[in-house]
Amino acid sequence: MLSRSSPDPDLSSALPPAAVRCRGLIKRYDDVVAVDGLDLEVRSGECFGLLGPNGAGKTTTIEILEGLLEPDAGSVEVLGLTWAHGARALRERLGVQLQETRLADKLTVEETVRLFRSFYRRGRPVQEVLEAVQLTEKRRSWVSRLSSGQRQRLAVACALVSEPDLLFLDEPTTGLDPQSRRSLWELIERFRAAGRTVLLTTHYMEEAARLCDRVAIMDHGRILALGTPAELVASLGAEHVLEFSLADGGGGLSDAELRALPGVTRVRESNGRIALTVREVHTTVPALLDELRRRGASLASLSTHHATLEDVFMVLTGRRLRDE
Amino acid sequence: MSRLEHAPLAQLTLARIREFGREPEAVFWTFFFPIVLAFALGIAFRERGPERVWVGVQAGPGARALAAALQGADNLRVRVLEPAVAGEALRDGDVALVIVPGGARVTYRYDPTRPESRLARLATDDALQRAAGRRDRVAVSEEAVEERGSRYIDFLIPGLIGLNLLGTGLWGVGYTVVRMRTGKLLKRLLATPMRRSHFLLSFMLARLGFLAAELALLLFFAWVAFGVGVRGSLATLAFIAALGAFAFTGVGLLVASRARTLEGVSGLMNLAAVPMWVLSGIFFSAEHFPDVMQPFIRALPLTALVDALRAVMLDGAPLAATAGWLGIVALWGAGCFGAALAMFRWR
């Protein structure tokens, strides 16, 4: 492989062009660094996810890419254009859904989408978009009378009505019920299947795993890991996670002793719960139980699951994606 | 229709009109509040014929004779007051003048800055001197005049039109813009290729949609209830009102251009509106203010607008005669619009 710092013109023309490319992005608010030297490349035609907890800098990053915020340092290129030179042309080609936009309460669904349609030179017919987000029946309802799931779909409709080449979604399913979430996922998948590009932020690992071709795990304004969901999980070096806690709240085995158990690749403890990343559950569990029995310790809980992006995040940061 | 459907300015304006029309409270304050105000003030200041003024005679030797002498005077009503309460009655405005008997000399006790008291002093003196035997040397006869167009209500209606244009311009825009800002809708619009000037212009154009109805309703009411007419052309009046609506919407946009909270914008709107309510000659002529303030008062958009409206309604002035005032109004509108566009906060 060629190194990224010396791009070969022949090679880059052979690859699909990048939809988004940014280098050394920095954004500070007073004394807080929201984005801390971020490099990112979103390929044309992929669904790319920024996964991270609240406050990781996802929204700041996406709003810089959307041209809504000015970075303190760094370069941004979207669809081969820059915000300094091609802002208007760029806006024509982007679809944007912001976190928590309150659309006008007293306009109907149809009026709202038609208003957004009027801003763009080209786009899709309003009825077609309403059909796509399943709001046709609600088209004469005021926005104030919609459920939160319907509002979110309307926000996405406003982003889709311009038939964008690149769709930005900032936490599109936060606060939605499972059914609304699934119907939004299907919508995003259809858009992506039509060969268009999506950049979304989320703090739901199952959302990133299902929708995204590639995921960047973010925390404190930096990217900690980047790859396909499968690659990221594989980077743990093991496929399962075994979690347990002891009845007397610890006092059991030391880190080194746990690491010595067969098949254990990583050990992590938080709030009295111990999480082991293991290659094979069926070899580690009996060994662990034997060891505990030998010491007279009793289990309060024991569970195992396939490793997920959540576990990747835990391993990288020592914290969970969502604070429960 | 399909051309309109793809015209962003038309869609933005329609959205403004719909949002306003679907807000019952906003409609009430725009259309009915000025009528309620006109009605209340029209009743309060209705023509009641010559008024009689209360005067008090302080009890004491000779008081009864003085009271009897005043009893016959046309425009005075008399009561006798104990010395202890006379001062209080004067202070509270129950009587305009207190007459203190004192043998050959009477004393008038009154506040000379009160027009009513001055009137009472003249009428009292006249009645007492006549009773004492004075004879008039000049023969006089009186002719009462009541001309439409010179009554208080005639003066008031153009002022109320101006006041309403100011109010709807400020309050109709300010809250809406701030609500859109706190709800991040402005930021969302910024992410589209929408022209920023279109967004601001849509507020001005939407005002026109309601202006005709607003103006017609108030004029009709004033005509039916108080017989207030329009001497000049209605078209001229409508044009001036439209210009005023544009200008005050511009002021409203400027006031709302940076505010982040409803409380903040509310304070700024009051800051912009209250000086004009007081100074611009809505309820009483702006001439009452000292000369040093006049250039400032004349430069206010509401003063200029109301002067132009009065010239057309009361004096039948043609459009050309109002050009100076309209220039001031237009300058305010254009200046505020430009400033708002330049400093508008979209997030």
Query: Residue B100's domain is classified under what CATH number?
Result: 3.40.190.10
pLDDT of residue A297: 83
pLDDT class for B151, splitting at 50, 70, 90?
A: confident
List residues of chain B with CB under 8 Å from any CB of chain A: 5-8, 10-12, 14-15, 18-19, 22-23, 179-180, 183-185, 187-188, 190-194, 347
Token pair for A182: 């699934």
CA atoms within 13 A on the CB side of A128: 8
Closest C-alpha to A148, from A176, A172, A170, A171: A176
Query: Strand A197-202 to strand A222-227: parallel, antiparallel, or no bridges (unpaired)?
Result: unpaired
Q: Do A88 and B193 touch (CB under 8 A)?
A: yes
| Chain B residues inside the 8 Å CB shell of A92 | 193
- Asked if residue B105 belongs to a domain, the reply is yes
pLDDT of residue A4: 43
List residues of chain A with CB under 8 Å from any CB of chain B: 66-68, 88, 91-92, 94, 96, 98, 100-104, 106-107, 111, 114-121, 142, 158, 162
Residue B172, CA distances (Å) to A193, B30, B176, B181, B247 in order: 45, 9, 7, 15, 13
- d(CA B118, nearest CA chain A) in Å: 59
Provide the 3-class DSSP secondary structure of residue B150. Answer: coil
pLDDT class for A212, splitting at 50, 70, 90?
A: very high
Of B11, B184, B193, the CB nearest to A114: B11
Closest C-alpha to B174, from B115, B109, B259: B259
Claim to verify: residue B166 and residue B307 sit in the same structural domain: yes
Test mutation, A65, A79, A119, chain B, max B CBs within 10 A: A119
Claim to verify: residue B293 and residue B184 sit in the same structural domain: yes
Residue A124 clears pLDDT 70, i.e. is over it: yes
Contacts of A221 by beta carbon, 8 Å cutoff, 6+ apart: A27, A33, A34, A35, A36, A37, A38, A56, A57, A60
On whether the CB atoms of residues A278 and A284 are closer than 8 A, the answer is yes
Token pair for B41: 């003030």
Q: Do B191 and A88 touch (CB under 8 A)?
A: no
| Chain A residues inside the 8 Å CB shell of B23 | 106
- Asked if residue B27 belongs to a domain, the reply is yes
Closest C-alpha to A258, from A238, A228, A278: A278
pLDDT class for A11, splitting at 50, 70, 90?
A: very low
Check residues B27 and A87 and name the one with the higher pLDDT: A87
Token pair for A270: 């938080």
Domain stop point among B99, B131, B163: B131
Place of tokens 């347990």: A244
- Asked if residue B137 belongs to a domain, the reply is no
Test mutation, B6, B177, B192, B195, chain A, max A CBs within 10 A: B192
Output the average pLDDT for chain A: 88
Q: State how many domains chain B has.
A: 2
| Chain A residues inside the 8 Å CB shell of B185 | 101-104
Task: Name the DSSP class of A17.
Answer: P
Q: Do B6 and A94 touch (CB under 8 A)?
A: no
- Asked if residue B143 belongs to a domain, the reply is no
Q: How far apart are CA A48 and CA A57, in angstroms?
A: 16
Place of tokens 């007419």: B229
Determine the straight-line distance between the first and last CA of chain B, rounded to whole angstroms: 33
Residue A107 clears pLDDT 80, i.e. is over it: yes
pLDDT class for A310, splitting at 50, 70, 90?
A: confident
Q: What is the largest CA-CA distance in chain A?
A: 74
- Asked if residue B23 belongs to a domain, the reply is yes
Q: How far apart are CA B84 and CA B87, in angstroms?
A: 7
Residue of chain B nearest A124, judged by CA positions: B6
Residue A248 clears pLDDT 90, i.e. is over it: no
Place of tokens 């007397």: A248
Phi, psi of B338 (to 5 degrees): -60, -45
CA B195 to chain centre: 37
pLDDT of residue A116: 97
- Asked if residue B141 belongs to a domain, the reply is no
Residue B149 clears pLDDT 70, i.e. is over it: no
| Angular region, A200: left φ>0, alpha ψ -120 to 50, beta rest | beta
Residue A5, CA distances (Å) to A8, A12, B17 in order: 10, 12, 55
Of A96, A118, A158, the CB nearest to B11: A118
Sheet with strand A94-97: strands edge to edge: A94-97, A166-170, A197-202, A47-51, A214-219, A222-227
Task: Name the DSSP class of B97.
Answer: -
Mean pLDDT of A163-191: 92
Q: How far apart are CA A277 and CA A315, in angstroms?
A: 9
**What angle separates helix A178-193 from helix A148-160, to the nearest 10 degrees?**
10
Claim to verify: residue B117 and residue B234 sit in the same structural domain: no
Token pair for A75: 């370069």
Contacts of A77 by beta carbon, 8 Å cutoff, 6+ apart: A18, A20, A21, A22
On whether the CB atoms of residues B331 and B187 are closer than 8 A, the answer is no
Number of helices followed by number of strands (H, E) in chain A: 12, 13
Claim to verify: residue B8 and residue B118 sit in the same structural domain: no
Claim to verify: residue B201 and residue B317 sit in the same structural domain: yes
On whether the CB atoms of residues A240 and A223 are closer than 8 A, the answer is no
- d(CA B211, nearest CA chain A) in Å: 21
Claim to verify: residue B75 and residue B203 sit in the same structural domain: no
Closest C-alpha to B56, from B93, B84, B96, B88: B96
pLDDT of residue A238: 72
pLDDT class for B73, splitting at 50, 70, 90?
A: confident
On whether the CB atoms of residues B240 and B309 are closer than 8 A, the answer is yes
A172-176, long-range: CB < 8 A, 24+ apart: A172/A97, A172/A200, A172/A202, A173/A202, A173/A204, A173/A207, A174/A99, A174/A202, A174/A203, A174/A204, A175/A148, A176/A148, A176/A149, A176/A152
On whether the CB atoms of residues B248 and B165 are closer than 8 A, the answer is yes
The predicted complex's ipTM stands at 0.83
Query: Strand B53-58 to strand B98-100: parallel, antiparallel, or no bridges (unpaired)?
Result: parallel
Closest C-alpha to A198, from A179, A219, A170: A170
pLDDT class for A16, splitting at 50, 70, 90?
A: low
Mean pLDDT of B62-85: 85
Claim to verify: residue B26 and residue B72 sit in the same structural domain: no
Claim to verify: residue B163 and residue B248 sit in the same structural domain: yes
Other C-beta atoms within 10 Å of B182: how many? 14
Residue A299, CA distances (Å) to A266, A277, A291, B96, B205 in order: 20, 18, 12, 97, 72
Interface A:B, Cβ pairs < 8 A: 71
- Asked if residue B329 belongs to a domain, the reply is yes
Task: Name the DSSP class of A139.
Answer: T
Claim to verify: residue B88 and residue B66 sit in the same structural domain: yes
Q: How far apart are CA A201 and CA A237, in angstroms?
A: 26
Domain stop point among B84, B100, B131: B131
Residue B338 clears pLDDT 50, i.e. is over it: yes
Q: How far apart are CA A197 and CA A201, in angstroms?
A: 14
pLDDT of residue B252: 95
Residue-wise pLDDT for B282-301, tens only, equals 888 888 899 999 999 999 99
Q: What pTM, to 2 d.p., does this model score? A: 0.79
- Asked if residue B138 belongs to a domain, the reply is no
Closest C-alpha to A102, from B181, B202, B90, B108: B181
Residue of chain A nearest B183, judged by CA positions: A102
Mean pLDDT of A270-289: 86
Contacts of B68 by beta carbon, 8 Å cutoff, 6+ apart: none
Show the domain range for B104. Answer: 53-131
- d(CA A88, nearest CA chain B) in Å: 6
Query: What is the torsional sign of CA A201, A203, A209, A214?
Result: positive
| Chain A residues inside the 8 Å CB shell of B7 | 118
Residue of chain B nearest A65, judged by CA positions: B191
Residue A324 clears pLDDT 50, i.e. is over it: no
On whether the CB atoms of residues B329 and B169 are closer than 8 A, the answer is no
Claim to verify: residue B101 and residue B245 sit in the same structural domain: no
Check residues B53 and B263 and name the one with the higher pLDDT: B263
Domain stop point among B131, B161, B178: B131
| Chain B residues inside the 8 Å CB shell of A79 | none
Q: How far apart are CA A117 and CA B70, in angstroms?
A: 82
Contacts of B288 by beta carbon, 8 Å cutoff, 6+ apart: none
Claim to verify: residue B35 and residue B118 sit in the same structural domain: no
Claim to verify: residue B234 and residue B94 sit in the same structural domain: no
Q: Do A118 and B6 touch (CB under 8 A)?
A: yes
Q: How far apart are CA A176 and CA A200, in angstroms?
A: 16
Determine the straight-line distance between the first and last CA of chain A, rounded to whole angstroms: 42
| Chain B residues inside the 8 Å CB shell of A86 | none
